[in-house]
Structure 1
Amino acid sequence: MRNGKTILLIVVLLCGCAWSGHAQRTITAKQDTVIPADSVVTAVLSAADSLPQPKVKLKEFKPDPNKALLYALVPGLGQIYNKKYWKLPLVYGAFMGCMYAITWNNKNYSDYSNAYFNIMEDYQKVLEGQQEGHTPYTGPWSESWTIFVPSGQESTYVSNTQFQENLKRRKDYFRRYRDLSIIITVGVYAITIIDAYVDAQLFDFDISPDLSMHWSPEVTPKTRYTPGSYGLNCSFKF
């Protein structure tokens, strides 16, 4: 009887151990199949990063010559459209210099022109006063020409033909250079327009400074009509 109880107790223990081992393996298997939430997010982000990213290709700037010509009608805008900003000081500096030359020459021309014509009018009054029966003309004199003579000597200079000719020459001198300054200004304006148009046309022209020389021996075989020769072949790349 005691042996039977002992055998039954051993069987129960063995069954309990077997069930415990099976339950533990089941829980371990279930735990292995559970994926943490952080791992899911990481996997999604990794998959997204591995996808090919679309490449945005920026359109290369190339100016339109017709638009450059249109913008160039306003001095400097053609160079701005072509993105050649370093030319702006040259353009505006040239225009400022031309405008200053026109203004300065025109002012001097106006002063000497008024002085010449006024002194000729005063001289005519003097000639009329010198006629028989007329009172000699002693003034007042026009201020436009008296500013060029010493004070108190107006009566002497009004009849001085050399002084009159000097006023006339100065008048013609400044008129000539005023007109020349206007012509130069028109030329500068035309150059800025041409520069903007040509620059837009040759915007992608290859101007690399690759200047090189290549040489190689040259052998000309002998023929029935020409003798054989030896020489050096040179070629320039620019």
Structure 2
Amino acid sequence: MTKLLLTFILIAGLALTAAAQKPDTLKRTKATVTDSLNHRADSLQSKPFKPGLLSKKDKIIIPDTLHSPHKAVIRSLIIPGWGQAYNHHYWKIPLIYGALGSLGYYIWYNERDYQGFLAVAKYQRDPNYTNAKYNNYIQQYAKYPNASIVNQKDYSLRSRDLCILGFLLSWGVNCIDAYVFAKFKHSYSMDNNLSDVHISGGLLNNPLSPVYAANFNTFTPAIKLTITLR
């Protein structure tokens, strides 16, 4: 009888528990919100990097090297001072023409004296010799000894040749100057990169003083400056 009663109570309790659990009438909404923007895939495809070599047709142009030394020297060969004008060194042009003009004048002056004294020397050897262009030389110097006339003639010839040589050298210096300053026109920078300049301290040994273990007077403090040219 007792077992039957316990069984009845257990069944009744299970029935009440099942009746108490009612289904939830509220519907759960999704917590995630979909993005309203449509994402598009990237249409550009990256290509792997492949280092290549420059061909002979490729030309690297550096703005600082556009000033051509070749143009400067050719222009100075054609017209003195033209290369300096190309380098924007206008103050050198009067110096160039002053030197060339002076040498050109002395070339003409010594050539005139040479031809005049030559005419005098010919007249002294042959009184019948005439030269209308240098007649004034004949009238002025015919009374001097022949040895003096010959020496003066040789001196004028030597001076003329030296002036011609100086004229050619001055023209050459004009070309060299144009080339050098065109070469270094833009080959330096004005930045603050001083990596090629190193300053360090050091000690200089005095060779006239003996070195002892505790004698520091034989050494002189010094500053060492090292400049590396590129």
Q: TM-score, normalised by structure 1?
A: 0.51
What is the SS of the residue equivalent to 1:234? Answer: strand
Q: What residue number does 1:107 align with?
A: 112
Q: What residue number does 1:147 align with?
A: 139
Q: What residue number does 1:203 align with?
A: 185
Residue deviations 1:161-219 (CA, integer Å, cap 9, x gap): x71111111100100000000000000000000100011111134599xxx99673559
Residue deviations 1:121-158 (CA, integer Å, cap 9, x gap): 12xx7xxxxxxxxxxxxx99994654225xxxx7xx4x
Q: 86, 91, 99: which one pairs with 2:96?
A: 91
Separation of aligned partners in 1, 2:172 and 2:86: 17
Q: CA deviation at 1:62?
A: 5.2
Contact 2:84–2:92 under 8 Å retained in 1: yes
Against the structure 1 CA distance between its residues 195 and 145, is the aligned structure 2 distance closer, same or farther, given a 3 Å change threshold?
closer
Alignment root-mean-square deviation, CA: 3.6
Bigger fraction of residues in helix: 1
> Match for 1:188: what amino acid?
S
What is the SS of the residue equivalent to 2:140? Answer: coil
Separation of aligned partners in 1, 2:201 and 2:222: 5
Residue deviations 1:46-79 (CA, integer Å, cap 9, x gap): xxxxxxxxxxxxx779521111111111111000
Q: CA deviation at 1:118?
A: 1.6
Against the structure 1 CA distance between its residues 206 and 236, is the aligned structure 2 distance closer, same or farther, given a 3 Å change threshold?
farther
Separation of aligned partners in 1, 2:89 and 2:66: 12
Q: What residue number does 2:222 align with?
A: 233
Q: What residue number does 1:63 align with?
A: 67
Q: What residue number does 2:51 align with?
A: none
Moved runs in structure 1, 4+ residues, more than 4 A? 59-62, 139-146, 205-208, 212-215, 227-231
Against the structure 1 CA distance between its residues 200 and 113, is the aligned structure 2 distance closer, same or farther, given a 3 Å change threshold?
same
Residue deviations 1:96-115 (CA, integer Å, cap 9, x gap): 01101101111111110111
Contact 2:65–2:187 under 8 Å retained in 1: no
Q: What residue number does 1:216 align with?
A: 201
Q: CA deviation at 1:117?
A: 1.1
Q: How many pairs align?
A: 145
Contact 2:67–2:186 under 8 Å retained in 1: no
